[in-house]
Amino acid sequence: MPTNSEKEISFGLGLLAKSSIIVFMGLVFSKIFTYFYRIIIARFYGPEIYGVFSLSLMIAGWVVAFAGFGLTEGILRYVPIFRAKKQFHRIRLLLKYSYLTTILSGILGGVFLFFLSNWISESIFKDPSLIIFLQIFSILIPLWVFSNLFLALIRAFERINVYSFLLNIFQNILKVVFLGIFIYLGFSQTSIPLSYLFSTLVLLVSAYLYSVYFISSSLKKTSTISSEDKKTFRGVFAYSWPLMFYGIIGNLLHWVDSFTIGYFKDTFSVGVYNAAIPIALFLMLAPEMFMQLFFPLITRHNSKREFSVSRELSKQVGKWIFIVNLPIFLLIFIFPGSFLNLLFGSEYIVASTALKILVVGFFAFSLFQISINLLSSLGKSKTLLYNILGVCTFNLVLNIFLVPKFGLEGAAFSTSLSFILLGTLAVIQSYKISAIIPLRRKMLLVFLSSLFPLILILLLRKIIPLTNATIILLLSLFFLVYLLCLFLTKSFDKNDLEIFKKIYLKLK
């Protein structure tokens, strides 16, 4: 007869699998419309304007991270804890303070960006066309910050289907629709930031209405705040403020390569490089599928001191990420130019080598996401801050030395190495605290299962001329043979087979 721990593990894995299907569908639609949106910009306006868009998005992201004060991460960690303890009045009080704080900080962040837009554009990047982008994005800042808060609340209540729909599907469809409308109306390049602005406004209204009518209305109201409540909220802010800087520096880590390319090279080079980045980010698809529910789930189990459940969930999800990402990594590494040409056009093929370097770092980093989430769920926000501060400094110094000499390849190497270093630190630190390494022995069988389809594709590559159609056929063949080899090598364990059974019964 299964123990309580085994029941919790089975229930948690089933919930993760069920939510991951919903999230996967959302992410597929998200990637389709995100890439469609970026491809329209890249092909319709060219690499230079695409580079300007990438730089403005980078700068706005920094301001949003600062203005958010890390409160979205605080909500993600503490709301599941309060729910587990049935302290619903504390959730309402936490939300009240978070709303007031982010309204003020979002407006100040927008004003700050608006008045500095000329100086940033002309003094740092020496490109006046960046000014109008930054000015429109400055209006976006408070909307972006506030929508993040409501999305975090929806996710913390494990309403993953709603969260995934709003963030991954609804918002990205809106971007494409508004971009098409503004282009049709003749707004020229300002169509890009305006489409981002209006889509975020609609997202904010939608997330707000759902939160108010389906979440906040069910929370217990309170008119008094006890000394214990005050102590708890000091703990929330003590946890959140390092994550504010973690978010700022995390954005810097993600964008420091684009920043240094823009500073040492030009916006054309930024645009070309930012065609490689979203392709490499395919490797973050699998972690996103599972992490949206994984974090609140293990936080709830850790708060109940059910560490054996967290350990089993971590190992299983680590294996799932490896199974999904290994073929994606191999295919992008073998056909980097084909992916760039297929999605963005022949002008962007010059970023092929940079893309090969980037996918190595992102593949390793995707496997380390569980350890990073474990550290955060255990309240080690300062540890995460110190990690990313050190790694970001390392990345910036490396970029400054390598970008002037090696260009895109230098930026890609710096970023790839930095992400590997950041993930390695998280694995070591989370193991010391939780004794969890999110790896299973059967991952070796998964790797062996990828060798036969890899050899097959390499042989066919020499025989068949590479066109967009043949590349799609080769990719499809690789995935089919890879899946067959997984079953033949018995790479799936009893947990996997149980999940397959549940999914089959659900679909049936």
Flag whether pLDDT at 178 surpasses 80. Answer: yes
Task: Supply the pLDDT for residue 303.
Answer: 65
* Of 384, 309, 386, nearest in space to 15 by CA: 309
Task: Supply the pLDDT for residue 157.
Answer: 83
| Shared-domain flag, residues 286 and 296 | yes
Among 440, 474, 503, where does a domain finish?
440
Among 440, 472, 503, where does a domain finish?
440
Task: Supply the pLDDT for residue 301.
Answer: 65
| Shared-domain flag, residues 54 and 197 | yes
**Secondary structure class of 115 (helix, strand, coil):** helix
How far apart are the C-alpha atoms of 160 and 22, rounded to whole Å?
Answer: 8
Whether residue 403 contacts residue 410, with contact meaning beta carbons closer than 8 Å, is answered with yes
Phi, psi of 222 (to 5 degrees): -145, 145
Distance set, CA 426 to CA 71, 289, 432 (Å): 22, 20, 10
Any domain includes 257: yes
Task: Supply the pLDDT for residue 506.
Answer: 56
More confident residue, 344 or 115: 115
How far apart are the C-alpha atoms of 292 and 290, rounded to whole Å?
Answer: 6
230-267: pLDDT as tens digits: 566 666 666 555 655 666 666 666 678 888 888 888 77
Query: Once rounded to an integer, what is the mean pLDDT over residues 95-99?
Result: 80
Token digits of residue 490? 């018995």
| Shared-domain flag, residues 216 and 358 | yes
Whether residue 65 contacts residue 244, with contact meaning beta carbons closer than 8 Å, is answered with yes
Any domain includes 177: yes
Residue type, 71: L
| Shared-domain flag, residues 346 and 474 | no
278-298: pLDDT as tens digits: 888 888 877 877 766 666 666
374-421: pLDDT as tens digits: 787 777 777 877 888 888 889 899 999 998 888 889 999 999 999 999
Q: Is the dihedral of CA 471, 22, 275, 421 positive or negative?
A: negative
Flag whether pLDDT at 203 surpasses 90. Answer: yes
Whether residue 17 contacts residue 496, with contact meaning beta carbons closer than 8 Å, is answered with no
427-445: pLDDT as tens digits: 888 888 877 777 777 788 8
| Shared-domain flag, residues 419 and 485 | no
Query: Where does 13-85 show beta strands of DSSP type E?
Result: none
How far apart are the C-alpha atoms of 296 and 301, rounded to whole Å?
Answer: 9
Flag whether pLDDT at 76 surpasses 90. Answer: no
| Shared-domain flag, residues 127 and 245 | yes
Q: Give the Cα-Cα-Cα angle 281, 285, 286 (nearest 5 degrees).
A: 135
| Shared-domain flag, residues 400 and 460 | no
Work out the percent of the chain whose per-residue pLDDT is above 70: 79
* Of 217, 199, 189, 250, nearest in space to 44 by CA: 189
Any domain includes 502: no
Any domain includes 297: yes
Token digits of residue 160? 């993953």
Whether residue 152 contacts residue 295, with contact meaning beta carbons closer than 8 Å, is answered with no
Please tell me which of 178-187, 213-222, 268-277, 339-348 the model is most confident about, judged by mean pLDDT.
178-187
Any domain includes 329: yes
Q: What's the mean per-residue pLDDT of the chain?
A: 80
| Shared-domain flag, residues 387 and 450 | no
Task: Supply the pLDDT for residue 86.
Answer: 76
| Shared-domain flag, residues 201 and 256 | yes
Q: Which residue has the tokens 């970029």?
A: 399
How many folded domains does the chain comprise? 2
Among 440, 472, 502, where does a domain finish?
440
Flag whether pLDDT at 5 surpasses 60. Answer: no
Residue 202: give the domain boundaries. 4-440
How confident is residue 111, by pLDDT bands cut at 50, 70 and 90?
Answer: very high
| Shared-domain flag, residues 436 and 447 | no
Give this prediction's pTM. 0.68
20-66: pLDDT as tens digits: 566 667 667 777 788 788 888 888 888 888 888 888 888 888 888 77
Query: Once rounded to an integer, what is the mean pLDDT over residues 121-147?
Result: 90
Task: Supply the pLDDT for residue 1.
Answer: 46
| Shared-domain flag, residues 253 and 353 | yes
Any domain includes 497: no
* Of 201, 233, 197, 238, nearest in space to 95 by CA: 233
More confident residue, 210 or 228: 210
| Shared-domain flag, residues 446 and 436 | no
* Of 476, 466, 422, nearest in space to 252 by CA: 422
Query: Once rounded to an integer, what is the mean pLDDT over residues 463-483?
Result: 81
Any domain includes 305: yes
Any domain includes 506: no
**Secondary structure class of 436 (helix, strand, coil):** coil
Flag whether pLDDT at 11 surpasses 70. Answer: no
How far apart are the C-alpha atoms of 210 and 215, rounded to whole Å?
Answer: 7
* Of 38, 35, 36, nearest in space to 53 by CA: 38
Q: Is 407 left (phi over 0), alpha (psi -120 to 50) or beta?
A: left
